[in-house]
Amino acid sequence: MRLYRGDAAGAQAALRRATELDPLSPMNLVCYGKSLYYGRRYGEARAALRQLNDLDAANLGAGEVLALTDLELGLADEARAAMRSMASSHHEGEKREYIAMMSALVDTRTGRAPRVLPDLRPRANAHVDTSTASALCLALGRRDAAIAWLEIGMRDRARSERGLIALDPRLASLRGDQRFKALVAGIS
């Protein structure tokens, strides 16, 4: 997919057409919303994801990107509501650590002390979304730990996902860091 190669605009165009052809496809709507989020078109992403949320409130992908979008728009209460909805859904068990990290990220980025702070020690055998762990470390001022999480994640990711990491708005403060550039380029 174009998005995972760092082409948010190309992904948006293709996915916009896909959603026009099948406006009720949850997968198309999530991917379209995600491409808008990574393209920093947060208002449009929110509209697309809320449409899907209205169709399928238990869609974990929509809830996840909606929470991220709301966070970028400064809608902390809405981001927290999306996180609560994810936590109360049938996905709670499989995504507990992720939800805890996202909740702490929302709290930290909106000036609150996290109610629960997950274990942020970088470790290779953890089943953790490394981008979210990295973003939380950045929000807490732990830049070296943020890079360490990304290094762990990049070992396990397909090369095509490097583009997605490069687009991630939560990691924007790392873009000038040579270690980050090397990870994205695959020269680590």
Q: What percent of the chain has pLDDT over 70?
A: 88
Output the pTM of the full model.
Answer: 0.83
What would the pLDDT profile of 26-63 be if each residue is shown by its tens digit? Answer: 888 888 888 999 999 999 999 988 887 777 766 777 88
**25-54 burial code (b ≥16 CB/10 A, e <16):** eeebbbbbbbbbbbbebbebbbebbbbbbe
